[in-house]
Structure 1
Amino acid sequence: MKSMWRAFALDKLDRFKSPWFYWHTGRKRVAIASLIVSTLAMWTAFVLAAGFSLWSIIIAVLLDAVGFWLALAYLLFLRSHLPGFTGLQSIADFFIVNQLAIPLLIGFFATRAATYWVAKACGHLPPNPKPPDEPPP
């Protein structure tokens, strides 16, 4: 039962590609349109409603998964060099979480959802491989 659910979930998640997948496979119109749609959606939701920085939205949309590595690099390398007694470390932590980590996490999924919808509207979804009827020997 678990393996069937895992296969189903991975099959569905595989269809949610990054805009850069469409950019590098020659479908630049899908990539640019999905980046614009996800930027506008996140700008409306975060900048206007929640008071996030516009730069964090742009970084979240353009960097995609690279932003996770930036946040991890801060946590592992840079954070230990900031003095905690002056309050600088807590200010930097607050800034990284609110202006980088939260928009990156939500942007990761929002960008992929927007890319899926744009690709579906343009008729450029990647093929869904059908599993064979027989198990391998």
Structure 2
Amino acid sequence: MKLAEVSNRFAVAPQLRPEDIQELADAGFGTVICNRPDGEEAGQPAIERMRDAAEKAGLAFHHIPVSGGEFPPAAIRAFGRVREEADRKVLAYCRSGTRSIMLDALANTERLSAEQRIANAREAGYDLSPMRARLGEEQR
């Protein structure tokens, strides 16, 4: 399992498997967010299997799917709400981790500047510089 730490309270990952979930709990995570639509790709574990694995490991599980490069305001708000209400570390995943880190940058629960969010993403291995203008707008 490949995790990219974005902050001390948030990480992203590419597609997880049910067998990865206990390792997250052991590492101090309390919440998992899946940002993939169920059945997006052949071989992707079903959401219910992932939810069951999370619940068995004592983790909260949230499904906030986004696709096609679209980040609807309702998805951004839902993602932000989960991040703000989490009492332990949060891990969000999608196919590559990119949608998850974009949602986090748009939700901006840590109230960071656009440049700081871009820098944090870069340190985690993701390039959000094409979103600079939109991230700047989200601060207003």
For the aligned pair, the TM-score class normalised by the smaller chain equals: under 0.3
The higher relative CO (CA closer than 8 Å, separation ≥ 6) is in: 1
TM-score scaled by structure 2? Answer: 0.24
Give the structure with higher Rg (CA). 1
Query: More strand per residue: 1 or 2?
Result: 2
- Which structure's residues are more often helix, by fraction? 1
